[in-house]
């Protein structure tokens, strides 16, 4: 689970504490002012707060989030003009990120810029970084290897006449990257790119573990298998190191390039731009599944994007259908899936979170969420025209009530994932 909150942070890289996201107003006055800056080639007037910070020697960097990438050496006020005219979608137009040398400077800039007449809002984006899996140090996970596949009733689903393999359903994994050379993941990626300042390599191992749960190759006589047979996984690295602009671009890339399902095994504080982009994805019919978070013992705070309306919030259950002690709860939860001792792929090279290479058993809502994302892909394979609302309803109505549960509650949501039952409801 990736989170903006405290805890063990083995494998963490980068920081966004000195970044400020600025959203320009999209009215004609603002656009005209920005065009004048670009065409006249004049420096900022230093009369407004935004002008002041663009001209400040404390400004380390400034870049538009979307639109044409600025050329090297382009003045900051010209970059702002690029951002203002970047998008036909007004909710995405005018977004820029300013980098400042300290948290104090960032807070001051944010406070002042927010009051500028040209600015709709300004905020410091919540930092998201890798939180070590809360795994017990069992020496032999083989006795219950991939127990979750039977727990979610996958084998019964595959024997049903209504089952359709999800080979062609595109699932985007926005995470720390995926090792494409893992023998159980070869041939599943249709897109593999980094939106961070680093390479495509999965340096933490988290994304590779998530990908194996979704789509590790079935019947190849090696290793493990995934919930789906998908061969259309998008590996979009947006974390480790984390940078707000890259994360935003990854969400937009998934939405605009054919993803039918997006898996977010990550979380953090509320971010207005993240919410705008995810609502945009939902409005385009994309099914979005997100982890509830692993901070139940540290305050059980609300995690985003799981808490965004329309997103399928996923908690973690145990082998006995109890709730994992780390799994966040809340009224925004939809259902739970197995999230303890989940055996899956890790990179074939040393990585930050893995104790070894190739395969490991981890716990976390990060491990529960891809089971739900994969189940959504199976529902879409059976009924390609299904809306994301239909998919969500089938998942929650098909969920099994756990022992002692009679109705929806803030701990288990509607119950534990049952792939076979959900397939019968769509």
Active site residues: 175, 206, 366
CA atoms within 13 A of residue 158's CA, in its CB half-sphere: 13
Region label for 41, one of left (φ > 0), alpha (ψ between -120 and 50) or beta (otherwise): left
- Alpha-carbon gap, residue 90 to 80, rounded angstroms: 15
SS3 416: strand
- What residues form DSSP beta bridges with 342? 362
- Alpha-carbon gap, residue 271 to 299, rounded angstroms: 20
Q: Which of 71, 74, 60, 125 is nearest to 95 (CA)?
A: 125
Query: DSSP character for 21?
Result: E
- What residues form DSSP beta bridges with 64? 96
Structure tokens at 177: 């990257």
Contact 118, 103 (CB under 8 A): no
Q: Which of 209, 195, 198, 257 is nearest to 232 (CA)?
A: 257
What torsion, rounded to 10 degrees, do the Cα atoms 292, 297, 298, 300 define? 40
Distance spanning both ends of the chain, measured CA to CA: 30
Structure tokens at 215: 């789509």
- Alpha-carbon gap, residue 291 to 346, rounded angstroms: 19
- Alpha-carbon gap, residue 262 to 26, rounded angstroms: 29
- What residues form DSSP beta bridges with 122? 22
Q: Which of 65, 13, 61, 7 is nearest to 239 (CA)?
A: 13
Q: Which of 395, 398, 401, 400 is nearest to 376 (CA)?
A: 395
CA atoms within 13 A of residue 416's CA, in its CB half-sphere: 24
């Amino acid at each position: 689970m990736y989170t903006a909150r405290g805890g063990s942070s083995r494998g963490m890289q980068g920081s966004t504490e000195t970044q400020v996201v600025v959203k320009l107003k999209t009215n004609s006055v603002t656009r005209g002012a920005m065009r004048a800056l670009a065409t006249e080639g004049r420096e900022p007037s230093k009369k407004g707060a935004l002008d002041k910070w663009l001209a400040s020697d404390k400004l380390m960097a400034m870049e538009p989030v979307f639109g044409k990438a600025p050329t090297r050496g382009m003045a900051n006020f010209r970059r702002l003009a690029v951002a203002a005219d970047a998008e036909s979608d007004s909710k995405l137009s005018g977004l820029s990120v300013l980098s400042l040398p300290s948290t104090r400077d960032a807070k001051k800039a944010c406070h002042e810029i927010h009051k500028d007449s040209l600015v709709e809002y300004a905020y410091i984006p919540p930092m998201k970084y890798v939180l070590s899996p809360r795994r017990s140090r069992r020496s032999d996970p083989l006795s219950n290897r991939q127990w979750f596949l039977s727990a979610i009733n996958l084998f019964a689903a595959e024997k049903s006449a209504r089952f359709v393999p999800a080979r062609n359903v595109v699932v985007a994994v926005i995470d720390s990257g995926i090792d494409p050379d893992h023998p159980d993941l070869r041939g599943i990626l249709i897109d593999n790119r980094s939106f961070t300042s680093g390479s495509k390599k999965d340096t933490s191992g988290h994304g590779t573990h998530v990908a194996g749960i979704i789509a590790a190759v079935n019947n190849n006589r090696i290793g493990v298998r995934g919930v789906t047979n998908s061969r259309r996984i998008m590996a979009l690295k947006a974390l480790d190191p984390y940078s707000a602009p890259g994360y935003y671009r990854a969400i937009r890339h998934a939405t605009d390039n054919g993803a039918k399902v997006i898996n977010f095994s990550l979380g953090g504080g509320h971010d207005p731009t993240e919410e705008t982009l995810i609502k945009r994805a939902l409005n385009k019919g994309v099914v979005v599944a997100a982890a509830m978070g692993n901070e139940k013992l540290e305050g059980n705070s609300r995690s985003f994007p799981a808490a965004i309306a329309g997103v399928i919030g996923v908690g973690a259950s145990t082998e006995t259908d109890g709730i994992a002690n780390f799994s966040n709860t809340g009224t925004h939860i939809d259902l739970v899936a197995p999230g303890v001792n989940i055996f899956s792929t890790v990179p074939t090279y040393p990585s930050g979170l893995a104790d070894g290479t190739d395969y490991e058993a981890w716990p976390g809502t990060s491990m529960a969420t891809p089971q739900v994302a994969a189940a959504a892909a199976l529902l879409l394979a059976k009924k390609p025209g299904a809306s994301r609302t239909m998919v969500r309803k089938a998942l929650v109505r098909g969920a099994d009530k756990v022992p002692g549960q009679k109705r929806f509650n803030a701990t288990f949501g509607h119950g534990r994932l049952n792939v076979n039952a959900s397939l019968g409801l769509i």
